[in-house]
C-alpha cells in the first residue's frame, strides 16, 4: 500500500513538473512573439510598399532620434549647470569645490567690495551644448536598419539648442528621405524637449551678479521671499570666495557659480 502511494505521488509530481515546463515555455514563446511584433512596428521590414510608407512614415526614425537626444543631452545640461554655464573650464577661470570645477562668473576687484562680470549669455551656453550634442548624436544615430528594401538618403545634420525658462529644446535638423519606386516620405525636423529649468536659474544668476557688481553683496532671503519661494539660493563662503548654488523649487537641477573674493 505504501509503495503504491509513493508511485502515485511520483507520477503526480512528474505531471506537475511537466505542466510547469509547458507554462514557462509558453511564456517564453509569447515574449518572443511580442518582441517580434514590437520590432515590426519599429522598422519597415520586408518589401517597402506605398501602404507601408504611408502607414509608418518617419515614426520609427523620429523615435530613434529622440531616444538618442534623451540619451546624450541631459548629461551635458547637468554639467553646464554644475560648472556655472561653461562646459570647458580654462585655467584661472574656475575653482574646484567638492571635486567639481565651478566657474567664476564675477572676478575680484582689488581693494573694492564689488566684482566685475565675466559676461555669459544664454546664447553662449546654447552654442556650447549644440557642439557637444552634435558630436554625441554622430556616434549614436544609425539609420541602416530602417526601411529594408527602400533607399534611405541622409543629408547634413545641424543641431539647435533653445534654452527656455523651464524647458529646453534640442532640435535636430537633418534631411531624411525614404523611397521605394515612386513612393517616398521625407522629413528634416526632429528633436526632443527636456524639462530642465536652466533658463530660469540663469536669470537668477544674472540678478545675483548684478547685485555683486554694484553693491558687493547679495541678500538671498528677501530675494527668495520676493519670488515666493520659487527659487532656492544657497550661498556658501569658502574663503575668500562666495559660492552660489541655485535650484528651482520643484526640481533638483542645479546651477552654481563662484564670485571671486580678495584674500
Q: In terms of residue numbers, what domain contains 99?
A: 52-259
Residues 83 and 126 in one domain: yes
Confidence grade of residue 39 (pLDDT, cut at 50, 70, 90): very low
Do the Cβ atoms of 259 and 241 come closer than 8 Å?
A: yes
Shared domain for 36 and 140, answered yes or no, is: no
Is 195 among the domain residues?
yes
- Are 94 and 32 found together in one domain? no
Whats the size of the chain, residue-wise?
263
Domain co-membership, 137 together with 195: yes
Domain check: are 35 and 163 in the same one? no
Contact between residue 176 and residue 142 where contact means Cβ atoms under 8 Å apart: no
The pLDDT value given to residue 32: 43
Spatial separation of the C-alpha atoms in residues 66 and 189, rounded to whole Å: 11
Residues 13 and 137 in one domain: no
Q: What is the mean pLDDT of the chain?
A: 84
Distance CA 136, CA 6 (A): 66
Look up cell 532640435; give the residue.
Answer: 171
Question: Residue 33: helix, strand or coil by DSSP?
Answer: helix
Co-location of 23 and 120 in the same domain = no
Q: Has residue 47 been placed in a domain?
A: no
Nearest to 234, CA basis, from 200, 195, 194, 204: 204
The sign one gets for the Cα dihedral 200, 202, 204, 206 is: negative
The answer to the question of residue 155 being in a domain is yes
The domain total for the chain is: 2
- Same domain, yes or no, for 106 and 32? no
Instruction: For 137-187, write each residue's pLDDT tens digit.
Output: 999 998 877 766 777 888 999 999 999 999 999 999 999 888 877 778 888
Please list the alpha-helical segments (H only) found in 87-177: 122-140
Are 240 and 68 in contact by the 8 Å Cβ rule? The answer is no
3-class secondary-structure state, position 158: strand
pLDDT at residue 82 tops 70 = yes
The rounded radius of gyration (Å) of the Cα atoms in the chain is 29
71 and 163 fall within a common domain: yes
pLDDT of residue 94: 98
**32 and 93 within one domain:** no
Domain-embedded: residue 112:
yes
Q: Are residues 21 and 80 in the same domain?
A: no
Dist CA 202 CA 8 (whole Å) = 77
Q: Are residues 180 and 251 in the same domain?
A: yes
pLDDT of residue 143: 81
Nearest to 125 by CA among 178, 158, 170: 170
**14 is a domain residue:** yes
The model's pTM: 0.79
Cell numbers placing 56: 509608418
Amino acid at each position: 500500500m505504501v509503495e503504491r502511494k509513493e508511485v502515485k505521488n511520483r507520477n503526480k509530481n512528474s505531471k506537475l513538473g511537466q505542466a510547469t515546463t509547458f507554462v514557462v515555455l509558453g511564456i517564453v514563446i509569447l515574449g518572443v512573439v511580442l518582441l517580434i511584433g514590437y520590432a515590426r512596428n519599429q522598422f519597415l521590414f520586408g518589401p517597402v510598399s506605398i501602404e507601408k510608407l504611408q502607414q509608418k512614415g518617419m515614426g520609427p526614425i523620429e523615435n530613434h532620434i529622440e531616444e538618442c537626444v534623451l540619451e546624450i543631452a541631459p548629461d551635458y545640461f547637468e554639467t553646464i549647470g554644475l560648472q556655472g554655464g561653461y562646459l570647458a573650464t580654462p585655467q584661472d577661470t574656475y575653482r574646484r569645490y567638492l571635486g567639481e570645477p565651478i566657474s567664476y562668473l564675477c572676478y575680484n576687484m582689488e581693494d573694492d567690495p564689488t566684482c566685475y562680470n565675466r559676461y555669459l549669455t544664454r546664447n553662449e551656453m546654447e552654442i556650447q551644448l549644440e557642439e557637444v550634442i552634435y558630436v554625441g548624436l554622430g556616434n549614436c544615430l544609425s539609420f541602416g536598419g530602417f526601411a529594408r528594401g527602400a533607399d534611405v538618403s541622409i543629408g547634413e545634420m545641424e543641431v539647435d539648442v533653445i534654452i527656455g525658462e523651464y524647458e529646453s529644446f534640442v532640435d535636430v535638423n537633418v534631411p531624411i528621405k525614404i523611397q521605394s519606386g515612386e513612393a517616398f516620405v521625407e522629413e528634416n525636423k526632429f528633436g526632443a524637449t527636456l524639462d530642465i529649468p536652466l533658463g530660469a536659474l540663469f536669470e537668477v544668476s544674472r540678478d545675483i551678479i548684478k547685485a555683486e557688481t554694484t553693491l558687493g553683496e547679495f541678500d538671498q532671503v528677501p530675494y527668495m521671499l520676493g519670488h515666493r519661494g520659487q527659487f532656492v539660493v544657497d550661498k556658501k563662503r569658502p574663503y575668500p570666495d562666495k559660492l552660489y548654488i541655485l535650484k528651482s523649487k520643484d526640481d533638483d537641477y542645479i546651477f552654481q557659480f563662484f564670485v571671486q573674493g580678495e584674500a
